Chain A
Amino acid sequence: MTDPAVPVEPMDPRSGVSTRAADAVAGAAVAAITEVTDRRRRLGWLFWLSLGWIVLTILAAIFANVLPLQDPNLQSATLNAGPSTAHFFGTDQLGRDIFSRVIFGSRVSIVVGFGAIAIGLALGGTLGMIAAYYRGTVDTIVNAVSYVLLAFPALVAVIAIVTFWKASLWKITLIIGIASAPLIFRIVRAATLSYATRDFVMAARTLGATSRRVLVKELLPNILPTVVSFSLIGVATVIVLEGSLAFLGLSIPGPTPSWGNMLNQSRTGLNTVPGQSNPWLVIFPAAAMFLFLITLNLVGDRLRQHFDVSEIKL
């Protein structure tokens, strides 16, 4: 899905059309040019379908209270039931409605995922633009710090913090947001750097535009495609991180449902003694999460292709 940057203009200044177009093992290159340009013009039905699913999930999460759902914490008399008209996705070992819990559970993933990346963007993104624009000492220092922070495995750091600072939705969001800042800093810095020396930026600077104006009006719109496409993939990564924490029982404590803690809870459903396992407890939250993650990745990846953002070497 990620194609190498194929030069759209096959002319090589030194040897004319020959060098690029002729490179033979990759004879597909020229053929790929047409394909790539076609694909870049249209985002494709899969993109829109995926975007639709993301929007639908978010809307369901927002309006979960209004929707005709059962109380996610109501314990009915039917325990560990399979799907039925009364309970579309069945019930868990406490008799709670899995369908309702899956929908309410999406709230945690969505808030943590988008919230953390927003915090990361505010911190890392701002610093990245400033560092790349002013260069010099500021850049050197922030850059070095980001390398040190990146060396620290995020999950372990988050686990360590959560251990001593009991988890809540907002704390988890904040911690993961801060942990994501160094990586976002690197991406935004690299993207800004590639534009900061271009003519139009130079022109704006020499014409006396204020730095704030150049940053907001000239640079920001140009790096936005990169930032948006990487951010969506970042949201998916954060959701995975929160899911891992929740699975380990270290994220938001019950009874609040989240996809991760539902899967954690399902461990007891994975009983190897026949007749005692409840596969529905695994299947539905897993499927909900899988669909949300794959659509986020797909939309992010398509946007990246569409805006022709190459995977920047960090």
Chain B
Amino acid sequence: MAKYLAKRAAAFVVIIFFVSLGTFFLVHLLPGNPALTILGPNANAHNIALIDKQLGLNRPLWTQYFIWLGNVLHGNLGQSFVTRESVVSTIAHAFPIDLELVVISQIIAFAVAVPLALTAVRKPNGRFDRYSTAGTFAMLAMPPFIVAPVLVLLFAVNTHIFPGPASYVPLAQNFWSNIHTMILPALVLALGSIVIYYRLLRNDLISTLQEDFILMARSKGLSDRRILLRHALRPSSISLLASAGINIGSLIAGAFVVEYLLQLPGLGYALVNSINQDDYVTVQGIVLVVAVAVVLINFLVDFLFTIVDPRISRD
């Protein structure tokens, strides 16, 4: 167990290192000059050289990287040339919104997908199974940027059940109106996750139900319901967890889309704004934070595996 976790932790550090490297060089090797952005129409060779020196852009790239990395490790992601705001404070304001969106959407997704799969496998290929499998299949073709406008059209524009764009209320200000504004975007995000979780769990449950230990559980006289919940669900949750980890990537994409559409001031909204303003320091900071968050979540999922399935750490 300890050895397994140590190995995972080592891999985590290596991947984070590469992610930082990637983020840094991505921004620095690509065309585009921050001095031009800062100076705007006043750009001339002399001014550019001045700014470059000020920002340390005239030093070798590797030196710049380690200076940057040192700053990052001290919690300093730099300062925006455009808004003059510190990138850390921009992210600190925006990040909780993404977190809340993702958490609510995952609660919805699991609350729908797990009971659906458990009901479907009671009669594999039965009517319920066929309909819910076909239904979730259709959802596969409904990414957030399709669903979000349609749902906004239905629930915000035409019926006013949920508030429309630009009506974000901070959580601290009013809990219930905050939740009210978050349900529609969270629902959009949840749809994609429901498909993935349902399909995986259904298939894994069906193969788990063929195992000898399920027959053993039946021979103890346990009810079907108890066998499903106590014996089949847990060994079938591995791929579900793994996919929940991988799914984070597409959740972020989805979160960006709904934030942009509904003008929720989350990371996605901030990212698109900074891109439109050529604010590359902020873009770099957000990219780094999101990438590290994704890697961290995958690491946590790995750790959860060892709790759910004791076989893993032993292999």
Chain A residues engaging chain B, CB cutoff 8 angstroms: 1-5, 23-26, 28-29, 32, 35, 147-148, 151-157, 159-165, 236, 240-241, 243-244, 247-250, 260, 263, 266-267, 270-272, 277, 279, 282-283, 286, 289-291, 293-294, 297-298, 301, 311, 313
Contact A165/B298 with A26-B209, A244-B143 known, Cβ cut-off 8 Å: no
CA distance A29 to B207 in the complex (A): 10
Shortest C-beta distance, B140 to chain A (Å), equals 5
Q: Tell me if B215 is interfacial: C-beta within 8 Å of chain A.
A: yes
Q: Tell me if B58 is interfacial: C-beta within 8 Å of chain A.
A: no
Please name all residues of chain B whose beta carbon is closer than 8 Å to the beta carbon of A5 when the two chains form the complex: 207
CA distance A32 to B271 in the complex (A): 50
CA distance A175 to B155 in the complex (A): 36
Please name all residues of chain B whose beta carbon is closer than 8 Å to the beta carbon of A244 when the two chains form the complex: 143-145, 253-254, 256-257
Contact of B145 among A1, A243, A313 (CB under 8 A): A243
Please name all residues of chain A whose beta carbon is closer than 8 Å to the beta carbon of B152 when the two chains form the complex: 270
Instruction: Establish whether residues A297 and B140, one from each chain, have CB atoms under 8 Å apart when the complex forms.
Output: yes
Kindly list 14 other residue pairs between chains A and B, CB separation below 8 angstroms, not including A23-B214, A151-B15, A153-B249.
Answer: A1-B134, A25-B209, A25-B210, A151-B298, A155-B252, A160-B27, A164-B32, A165-B30, A165-B31, A241-B253, A250-B272, A270-B165, A290-B142, A297-B141
CA distance A148 to B11 in the complex (A): 9
User: Interface stretch among B17-25, B44-52, B88-96?
Assistant: B17-25
Shortest C-beta distance, B173 to chain A (Å), equals 21
Interface hits, B199-228 → A, CB 8 Å: 199, 203, 206-207, 209-212, 214-215, 218, 224, 227
Instruction: Establish whether residues A248 and B257, one from each chain, have CB atoms under 8 Å apart when the complex forms.
Output: yes
Contact of B206 among A26, A155, A249, A294 (CB under 8 A): A26
The digit string for B244-260, where 1 denotes a CB below 8 A from any CB of A, is 00001110111011001
Contact A272/B134 with A157-B26, A163-B280, A244-B143 known, Cβ cut-off 8 Å: no
Please name all residues of chain B whose beta carbon is closer than 8 Å to the beta carbon of A289 when the two chains form the complex: 141, 146
CA distance A267 to B165 in the complex (A): 9
CA distance A156 to B256 in the complex (A): 10
Please name all residues of chain A whose beta carbon is closer than 8 Å to the beta carbon of B249 when the two chains form the complex: 153-155
Instruction: Establish whether residues B15 and A240, one from each chain, have CB atoms under 8 Å apart when the complex forms.
Output: no
Q: Tell me if B2 is interfacial: C-beta within 8 Å of chain A.
A: no
Instruction: Establish whether residues B287 and A247, one from each chain, have CB atoms under 8 Å apart when the complex forms.
Output: no
Q: Tell me if B55 is interfacial: C-beta within 8 Å of chain A.
A: no
